[in-house]
Amino acid sequence: MIDQKKPDTKQRLLDGALAAVREHGVSGTSARTIAAAAGVNQALVFYHFGSVDDLLGAACRQATEQRVAHYADRFAAVTSLRELLQVGRTLHAAELAQGNVSVLAQMLAAAQSNERLAEPIRATFALWTGEIETVLRRVLTGSPIAEVADVPGLAQAISAAFVGLELFEGVDAAGGRRSMEAIDQLAVLVEVMDELGPLATRVLRSKIKKRL
Amino acid sequence: MIDQKKPDTKQRLLDGALAAVREHGVSGTSARTIAAAAGVNQALVFYHFGSVDDLLGAACRQATEQRVAHYADRFAAVTSLRELLQVGRTLHAAELAQGNVSVLAQMLAAAQSNERLAEPIRATFALWTGEIETVLRRVLTGSPIAEVADVPGLAQAISAAFVGLELFEGVDAAGGRRSMEAIDQLAVLVEVMDELGPLATRVLRSKIKKRL
DNA sequence: GTCTATAGTAGGATAGAC
DNA sequence: GTCTATCCTACTATAGAC
Share of chain A above pLDDT 70, in %: 92
Contact B200 A180 (CB under 8 A): no
> Residues B39-98: pLDDT tens digits?
999 999 999 999 999 999 999 999 999 999 999 999 999 998 889 999 999 998 888 788
Please report, to the nearest 10 degrees, the dihedral formed by the alpha carbons of residues A16, B114, B67, B55 taken in order: -120
> B23-40 pLDDT, tens per residue?
999 999 999 999 999 999
Nearest CA among B63, B26, A108 for reference residue B34 = B26
Give the whole-angstrom CA distance, residue A81 versus residue A88. Answer: 10
Q: How far is CA B111 from CA A105, A109, B124, B125, in A?
A: 12, 11, 12, 12
CA of A9 to C1' of C3 (A): 14
Contact assessment for residue B128 and residue A140, using Cβ atoms and an 8 Å cutoff: no
- Smallest Cβ–Cβ distance between B183 and the set A157, A188, A189 belongs to A157
Query: How near does any CA of chain A get to the CA of B41, in Å?
Result: 24
Q: Give the pLDDT confidence score for residue A2 in this predicted structure.
A: 47
pLDDT in tens, A172-203: 999 999 999 999 888 877 777 777 667 767 77
In a mutational test of the B interface, the residue from A33, A114, A128, A156 whose CB has the highest number of chain B CBs within 10 Å is A156
B46 Cβ nearer than 7 Å to chain D strand: no
Q: Does residue A165 contact residue B165 with C-beta atoms inside 8 Å? A: no
Determine the residue of chain B that is closest to A151 in CA distance: B182
C-alpha gyration radius of chain A = 20
DSSP string covering chain B, please? ----S-TTHHHHHHHHHHHHHHHHTTTT--HHHHHHHHTS-THHHHHHHSSHHHHHHHHHHHHHHHHHHHHHHHHHT--SHHHHHHHHHHHHHHHHHHT-TTHHHHHHHHHTT-HHHHHHHHHHHHHHHHHHHHHHHHHTTTSHHHHH--HHHHHHHHHHHHHHHHHHHHH-HHHHHHHHHHHHHHHHHHHHHHHHTHHHHHHHHHHHHHH-
From chain B, pick out residues whose CB is under 8 angstroms from the CB of A201.
none
Ordered by where they begin, the domains of chain A are 9-211 (1.10.357.10)
- Chain D nucleotides with an atom closer than 7 Å to a protein C-beta: 1-5, 10-16
Q: Tens place of pLDDT for every residue, chain A, 212 residues?
A: 544 444 699 999 999 999 999 999 999 999 999 999 999 999 999 999 999 999 999 999 999 999 999 999 999 999 988 899 999 999 988 887 887 668 999 999 999 999 999 999 999 999 999 999 999 999 988 777 787 789 999 999 999 999 999 999 999 999 999 999 999 888 877 777 777 667 767 777 777 677 66
